[in-house]
Amino acid sequence: MIVIAAIALIGAASAHAEADKDDTADAAKRDEFVKRLFARDVGKDKAYACFVRHYDPEHLARHPLQKVSAMKLLLTAETGPEAEAPSYSFRLGVHYRNKRGAYDSSGDCRHGTISAQTNNEARFHCYVDCDGGGIDIGLNKDYKSTLIRLESIRLWRDNKPDEDASALVAGADDKIFRLDRTDLEECRSLVTDREELAEMRRKR
């Protein structure tokens, strides 16, 4: 009985050690992902990253079911005065090919679970409050583009009230979007606060 108990304890200790090792490896992947996503170390200073894609007529002709004609993504990392780690948020801008006006959404982001479902990659899971859906954000291998995956996300047209909200729902050609990294100036249209606009100009 003593031998069996000892074997069980050794097995449990080994399992805990492997779990700790996996957690450490995942934490390192998440830290590296954030650094690559923002193209810099994210510390106490506020950090931004802007990604944009305007789909040309040739692309849209090859994807006739795609509803989106242009998309912008602004990511923000900010560490509060008493916070130990940064918090992350997103703003998404969308233009449709068959609808007039600018549509946008926003919310908070957190690290997603690294698993077989994410191809063992680190990603952000970003969500809109009140069951407004959200997006998953990953990186291309060259780190110059981001991959946005969605099922459904609530959007507002031209900052109008909630009754004018609609949803972008994933379809045959609207599940994954590749956006390219660009200058923060390209994402200014997603920001209305003057102080934040000035902060973005300082970060360029």
Query: Which one-letter amino acid corresponds to residue 98?
Result: N
CA-CA distance, 198 to 125, in Å (whole number)? Answer: 27
Q: What is the pLDDT of residues 56-107, one digit of tens each?
A: 999 999 999 999 999 999 999 998 877 788 899 999 999 999 998 899 999 9
Q: Are the C-beta atoms of 33 and 42 separated by less than 8 Å?
A: no
Q: What is the pLDDT of residues 33-44, one digit of tens each?
A: 999 999 988 877
CA-CA distance, 153 to 168, in Å (whole number)? Answer: 5
Q: What is the pLDDT of residues 151-174, one digit of tens each?
A: 999 999 877 766 668 899 998 899
Residue 83: its pLDDT value, please? 76
Q: Are the C-beta atoms of 72 and 188 separated by less than 8 Å?
A: no
CA-CA distance, 66 to 57, in Å (whole number)? Answer: 12
- Closest Cα to residue 52, out of 142, 123, 130, 145? 145
State pTM to two decimals: 0.84
